[in-house]
């Protein structure tokens, strides 16, 4: 009786495996030159599992994962040189969670979080030489909160508050050597209230905001 049960279980497993294979087929597309363009599995006429995409010259351009024809899971993208361009996470055709983007020389260009394909939370950006370019927060795809911008030499260039994508709050600006130049407030992307500039000796003096344009 026990052997009969094992035999039936074994046959069911084989049947399920055969059924899955019969409904999952490899699909490929090609360039006019004959070079492979893409290859992956199709199940029930929909992309499924891991797909690979290639540039016309034959180098790998992307590795994507699909579930019922929708991007789901990890995706990697490459430059024609073969160097890594981006690492993303997808769910139901929408960007989600952590993402990393690279310059062709391998230096990290930017990293942050996506929420429903929109920038969300803290993002950092770098120059190609590796120096930090800017850092700030997003909300619903728009800059929101404190942002800082830097010169290529690493010195702070400007820093201030965004609200729903617009400059709104206290901002301060610096010269290439890191000395403060002027400061004041924005409201809805416009300078408001009292603004001040700083002399080379650091003395604070009032200034007409119109003179800063």
Note whether residue 147 is domain-resident: yes
Across the strands, what pairs with 39?
28, 52
- Same domain flag for 51 and 77: yes
Secondary structure (3-state) at 103? coil
- pLDDT, tens digit (0-9, with 9 covering 90-100), for 191-211: 999 999 999 888 999 999 888
Above pLDDT 70, what percent of the chain?
A: 89
Domain closes at, from 77, 96, 115: 96
Q: What is the value of pTM for the model shown? A: 0.86
Residue where one domain finishes, among candidates 96, 118, 152 = 96
We report the CATH number of the domain holding residue 91 as 2.20.110.10
What's the pLDDT at 90? Answer: 99
Residue 55 to residue 40: CA distance in whole angstroms: 16
Instruction: Count how many domains the chain has.
Output: 2
DSSP string over 128-184: TTS-EEEEEEEETTEEEEEEEEE-TTS-EEEEEEEETTEEEEEEEEE-TTS-EEEEE
Q: Is residue 7 situated within a structural domain?
A: no
- 194: how many CB neighbours lie within 10 A of its CB? 11
Q: Which domain holds residue 63?
A: 24-96
Phi-psi region of 5 (alpha: psi -120 to 50; beta: other; left: phi over 0): alpha
Report the SS3 class of residue 13. Answer: helix
Decide: residue 202, CB within 10 A, 0-12 exposed, 13-18 middle, 19+ buried.
exposed
Degrees to nearest 5, angle at CA 54 with 52 and 57: 160
Mean pLDDT for all residues in the chain: 91
Query: Among residues 33, 62, 96, which one ends one of the domains?
Result: 96
Q: Are residues 42 and 120 in the same domain?
A: no
Cα separations in angstroms, 128 against 61, 88, 113, 125, 175: 21, 20, 21, 10, 22
DSSP symbols for 17-32? HHHHHHHEEEEEEE-T
**pLDDT tens-digit map of 22-70:** 467 999 999 999 999 999 999 999 999 999 999 999 999 999 999 999 9
On whether both 117 and 208 belong to a single domain, the answer is: yes
* 40 domain residue, yes or no: yes
């Amino acid at each position: 009786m026990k052997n009969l049960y094992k035999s039936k279980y074994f046959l069911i497993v084989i049947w399920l495996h055969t059924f899955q294979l019969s409904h999952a087929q490899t699909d490929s597309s090609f360039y006019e030159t004959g070079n492979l363009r893409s290859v992956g599995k199709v199940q029930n006429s929909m992309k499924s599992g891991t797909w690979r995409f290639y540039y016309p010259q034959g180098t790998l351009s992307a590795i994507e994962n699909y579930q019922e024809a929708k991007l789901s899971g990890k995706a990697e993208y490459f430059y024609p040189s073969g160097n890594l361009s981006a690492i993303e996470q997808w769910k139901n055709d929408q960007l989600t969670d952590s993402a990393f983007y690279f310059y062709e020389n391998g230096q990290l260009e930017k990293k942050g979080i996506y929420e429903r394909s929109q920038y969300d939370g803290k993002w950092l950006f770098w120059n190609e030489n590796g120096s930090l370019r800017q850092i700030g927060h997003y909300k619903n795809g728009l800059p929101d909160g404190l942002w800082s911008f830097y010169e290529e030499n690493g010195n702070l260039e400007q820093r201030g508050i965004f609200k729903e994508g617009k400059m709104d709050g206290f901002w301060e600006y610096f010269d290439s050597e890191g000395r403060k130049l002027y400061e004041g407030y924005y409201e809805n992307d416009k300078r408001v209230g009292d603004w001040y500039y700083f002399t080379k000796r650091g003395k604070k003096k009032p200034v007409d905001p119109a003179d800063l344009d």
